[in-house]
Amino acid sequence: MNVLILNAGSSSLKFQVIATDLERIKTSSDERLCRGQVERLGGEAIITVQSRTGPRRKLTAPIRDVAAALDYVLRWLASENSGVPEIRSLGDVHAVGHRVVHGGETFHESALITDEVLKGIEDCIDLAPLHNPNNLKGIQAVREIFGSQTPQVAVFDTAFHATIPEHAYLYALPYHLYRRHRIRRYGFHGTSHRYVAYRYRALCGLTREQTNLVTLHLGNGCSACAIRGGHSVDTSMGMTPLEGLVMGTRSGDLDPAILNLMAGKEGLSPHEVESVLNTQSGLLGISGLTNDMKVLEEELLVHEDRRVRLAIEIFCYRARKYVGAFLAAMGGADAVIFTGGIGENSPLVRARICDGLAWAGLKIDAARNEQMVRREGRISTDDSTLNAWVVPTDEELLIARDTVRCILGEPHPG
Ligand code: ADP
């Protein structure tokens, strides 16, 4: 089955095509046929495409919106020179899987899209006004182009966290705010945390019940997840993706009274304050230079800039604090898993986060840590009682597999 995976954002459409089915899932022989993205929708868009065998190509074209981007991608896929011979016409795309950001309290797992499911995703718009409408546009665009006979599946960022218990998801606010407005922790990056937990247990030959981890997804957005018996029992992102770890441009945790103070002192509206926390804070805010960890690390080597050093230090300190908190919350774990662009590529950040965790039994093996770049493997010493691993994430693979399972009515392995 050729599954088209779509991640529709406000100004971009990311896509992949993965060939998979139940047999391929069992034998891990799924095949990625191509990947790409269309960025800067609404003007002269930048299109990046790469087939399994061909080189990476970059083009530009005026593209209005998600529907036009999808049309463009499909025409490229079916063209002679796409390098994807498996797709010659629309009929060769057998199903579509969508990343959907918010499933609220309605969706505890991936769902085959029906009118009722569409309504459920619409009902979650209140919870994710910036994200769910774009995801819905992606789903509508597929319906318009393919018709309703092509099955579509929604895979929710929040679904993996549906197992978080009440005492971990409720904020200490007046309870009626939860009743009236569903104000609570939902958590995000669920597909990534779920994927790396699944990979870890496959690599170690463990059952789901034996899987006890703290997973750290460190990319542009960052979150930690406490996984006990294979289930998410707590996570650092909250009602929105703003809470928790320090991120590229997001502040993560702060004293909520600062919001009012900032508004008064800087003459900002509540909306503007939130925008500062989302887009001008985190690594960018502290360093005053960039949200890009790779650039910060390079800068540190050349200039030993105080604020660059601080940005990295605060990032790592916050992450270590969350690891400690989640170890305490779970009564220990077997491993800390690093994933996401920073987690997969930065030995420096991994070492700094783990440096203060010897008390918990975690000691980093410096040579293993240096070698483990975009590869999966253990980076702790043989005598560590709490291990550290790098596991590159692959959310699209999980979306493709969930799509197949949902269509065939197979249960999720989690
Ligand atoms: P997203 O959350 O948008 O998917 P990624 O997971 O790709 O983002 O992560 C992007 C982050 O990963 C950026 O901060 C980038 O600098 C960082 N990163 C990528 N490669 C390296 C590297 N070699 N060293 C340090 N950081 C890196």
Find out whether the beta carbon of 64 lies less than 6 Å from any atom of ligand 1.
no
pLDDT number for residue 10: 85
Give me ligand 1 centre to Cα 91, in Å.
36
410, part of any domain = no
Tell the residue number behind the tokens 């939860």, with chain if given.
Answer: 178
Last residue of a domain, one of 122, 156, 190: 156
pLDDT band at 128 (very low <50, low <70, confident <90, very high): confident
Tell the residue number behind the tokens 């597999």, with chain if given.
Answer: 401
Answer whether residue 121 shows pLDDT above 80. Answer: yes
Statement: the pTM of the whole predicted model exceeds 0.75: yes
> How far is it, in rounded angstroms, from Cα 113 to Cα 96?
10
Same structural domain, 136 and 252: no
Span 195-210, mean pLDDT?
Answer: 97
Span 282-296, mean pLDDT?
Answer: 98
The answer for 229, left when phi > 0, alpha when psi is -120 to 50, beta otherwise, is left
pLDDT number for residue 332: 97
pLDDT number for residue 136: 95
Same structural domain, 253 and 323: yes
pLDDT number for residue 54: 84
> How far is it, in rounded angstroms, from Cα 237 to Cα 311?
20
Same structural domain, 211 and 345: yes
- What are the pLDDT digits (tens) for 67-77? 999 999 999 99
Give me ligand 1 centre to Cα 341, in Å.
3
Task: Sort 84 into a burial class: Cβ within 10 Å, 0-12 / 13-18 / 19+.
Answer: buried
In contact, 297 and 194? CB cutoff 8 Å: no
Residue closest via CA to ligand 1's atom 25 equals 294
Q: Indicate which atom in ligand 1 lies nearest the CA of residue 340.
A: 6
Percentage of the chain beyond pLDDT 70 is: 100
Find out whether the beta carbon of 221 lies less than 6 Å from any atom of ligand 1.
yes
Number of domains in the chain: 2
Give me ligand 1 centre to Cα 70, in Å.
26
Residue closest via CA to ligand 1's atom 3 equals 220
Find out whether the beta carbon of 223 lies less than 6 Å from any atom of ligand 1.
no
pLDDT number for residue 53: 84
Percentage of the chain beyond pLDDT 90 is: 94
For 28-32, 80-84, 160-164, 317-321, which range has the lowest pLDDT when averaged over its residues? 80-84
Domain of 135? 2-156
Answer whether residue 335 shows pLDDT above 80. Answer: yes
Same structural domain, 134 and 32: yes
In contact, 371 and 378? CB cutoff 8 Å: no
173, part of any domain = no
- Bridging pattern class, strands 13-19 and 31-39: antiparallel
Span 52-62, mean pLDDT?
Answer: 92
Span 278-305, mean pLDDT?
Answer: 96
371, part of any domain = yes
In contact, 363 and 383? CB cutoff 8 Å: yes
Last residue of a domain, one of 121, 156, 191: 156
> What is the DSSP secondary structure assignment for residue 411, as one 8-state letter?
P
Give me ligand 1 centre to Cα 248, in Å.
9
> How far is it, in rounded angstroms, from Cα 384 to Cα 389?
12
Span 101-130, mean pLDDT?
Answer: 94
Span 391-400, mean pLDDT?
Answer: 97
Reading the block at residue 293, the tokens are 């960890």
Reading the block at residue 274, the tokens are 């939130």
In contact, 183 and 149? CB cutoff 8 Å: no
71, part of any domain = yes
pLDDT number for residue 350: 98
Answer whether residue 414 shows pLDDT above 70. Answer: no
Mutate to test the pocket of ligand 1, among 249, 250, 346 (most ligand atoms within 8 A of CB): 346
3-state secondary structure 79-125: CHHHCCCCCCCHHHCCEEEEEECCCCCCCCCCEECCHHHHHHHHHCC
Span 172-176, mean pLDDT?
Answer: 98
Residue closest via CA to ligand 1's atom 19 equals 341
In contact, 404 and 9? CB cutoff 8 Å: no
Find out whether the beta carbon of 219 lies less than 6 Å from any atom of ligand 1.
yes
Answer whether residue 411 shows pLDDT above 80. Answer: no
Span 72-88, mean pLDDT?
Answer: 93
Same structural domain, 136 and 257: no
171, part of any domain = no
Mutate to test the pocket of ligand 1, among 291, 294, 348, 373 (most ligand atoms within 8 A of CB): 294
Find out whether the beta carbon of 297 lies less than 6 Å from any atom of ligand 1.
yes
Give me ligand 1 centre to Cα 105, in Å.
31
Same structural domain, 117 and 28: yes
Find out whether the beta carbon of 293 lies less than 6 Å from any atom of ligand 1.
yes
303, part of any domain = yes
Find out whether the beta carbon of 283 lies less than 6 Å from any atom of ligand 1.
no
Same structural domain, 72 and 132: yes
Tell the residue number behind the tokens 């318009």, with chain if given.
Answer: 144
52, part of any domain = yes
pLDDT number for residue 188: 97
Span 281-293, mean pLDDT?
Answer: 98
Find out whether the beta carbon of 190 lies less than 6 Å from any atom of ligand 1.
no
> Which of 157, 234, 394, 402 is labelled catalytic?
157
Q: Break the chain down into helix, strand, coil percent, rounded to 5.
A: 45, 20, 35
- What are the pLDDT digits (tens) for 5-49? 999 998 999 999 999 999 999 999 999 999 999 999 999 999 999
Same structural domain, 295 and 360: yes
265, part of any domain = yes
Find out whether the beta carbon of 341 lies less than 6 Å from any atom of ligand 1.
yes
Same structural domain, 278 and 140: no
- What are the pLDDT digits (tens) for 210-258? 999 999 999 999 999 999 999 999 999 999 999 999 999 999 999 999 9
Query: What CATH number has the domain bearing residue 381?
Result: 3.30.420.40
Give me ligand 1 centre to Cα 111, in Å.
30
Find out whether the beta carbon of 290 lies less than 6 Å from any atom of ligand 1.
no
Same structural domain, 18 and 85: yes
Q: What number of other Cβ atoms are within 10 A of residue 88's Cβ?
A: 13
Give me ligand 1 centre to Cα 292, in Å.
7
Identity of residue 147: G
Answer whether residue 373 shows pLDDT above 70. Answer: yes
Catalytic, 305? Answer: no
Span 87-96, mean pLDDT?
Answer: 96
Find out whether the beta carbon of 346 lies less than 6 Å from any atom of ligand 1.
yes
Same structural domain, 253 and 357: yes
Answer whether residue 2 shows pLDDT above 70. Answer: yes
Enumerate the β-bridge partners of residue 39: 46
Q: Rounded to the nearest 5 degrees, what angle is found at the Cα of 18, between the Cα atoms of 15 and 24?
A: 160
Same structural domain, 138 and 224: no
